[in-house]
Amino acid sequence: MPAWAAPMSRRLRIIARCVNGCTFTVVGRDAWALCELIMAGERGCTPIDNPGPRWSAYVHALRTEHRLAIETVDERHGGQFAGTHARYILRELVEVIAYAGDQDQLAKCFCYE
């Protein structure tokens, strides 16, 4: 296990690099959200398609703490509870250079089909 991951439990932990060369570490649900955004690409993520309890908080943290460019697109939806929801799209290249944590979560984040 790498030294940077040693004291952590099974919580997801990612070290990533932006296109401008900055390196940063993201943990927990924020790391999960970053994985989802990377895998979604131009399609982006919504709380409907990628259920998570606090998408807006994850995106806020990624924007403010790590200065990531994430676009919010408001979309309408119908149904019994018609209204709007957000679609979040990562607008810059982010490379995952290391990760650790729960093996099931890692498999979900980094298994491309």
Residues 41-65 pLDDT 10s: 999 999 888 888 899 999 999 999 9
Is the confidence at residue 37, as pLDDT, over 50? yes
Quick check: 45 and 88 in contact, CB under 8 A?
yes
Q: Could you tell me the residue ranges of all domains in the chain?
A: 11-110
pTM score, whole prediction: 0.81
pLDDT of residue 101: 79
Q: Could you please report the per-residue DSSP string of 11-53?
A: --EEEEEETTS-EEEEEHHHHHHHHHHHHHGGG-B-TTTS--T
pLDDT of residue 19: 85
**Mean pLDDT over all residues of the chain?**
85
Alpha-carbon Rg for the chain, nearest whole angstrom, is 15
Decide which of 111 and 74 is more confident. Answer: 74
Helix (H, G, I), strand (E, B) or coil at 6: coil
Residue 112 gets which letter from DSSP?
A: -
